[in-house]
Amino acid sequence: MGELLDRLNAVDSGADAPTTSAIDQAADLFHAASHAINEAIEAVRGRWTRQMPLQALAVAFLIGVMTARRRRA
């Protein structure tokens, strides 16, 4: 991720334009970082679901009840 920031700062400062290879490397770094973030988000969601399945079910039930009441009224 640091390499991506260094390359972007170099472009902003007016240094030579990055080559296609540099752009490909930056894109790969960005893809890897976004993949790592998505994995972390999924891990947190899975952990929350495993730790509190009854609470999650209760919240979903209450939201369903409130939604049904609003539509009926």
Provide the residue range defining the domain that includes 45: 2-72
pTM of the model: 0.43
Structure tokens at 41: 């988000």
| Bigger pLDDT: 43 vs 8 | 43
Lowest mean pLDDT among 10-19, 30-39, 51-60: 10-19
Cα 11 to Cα 8, 18, 33, 52, 53, distances in angstroms: 5, 7, 20, 47, 49
Averaged pLDDT for residues 11-38: 80
Secondary structure of the chain as H, E, C letters: CHHHHHHHHHHHCCCCCCCHHHHHHHHHHHHHHHHHHHHHHHHHHHHHHHHCHHHHHHHHHHHHHHHHHHHHC
Averaged pLDDT for residues 39-63: 84
Number of domains in the chain: 1
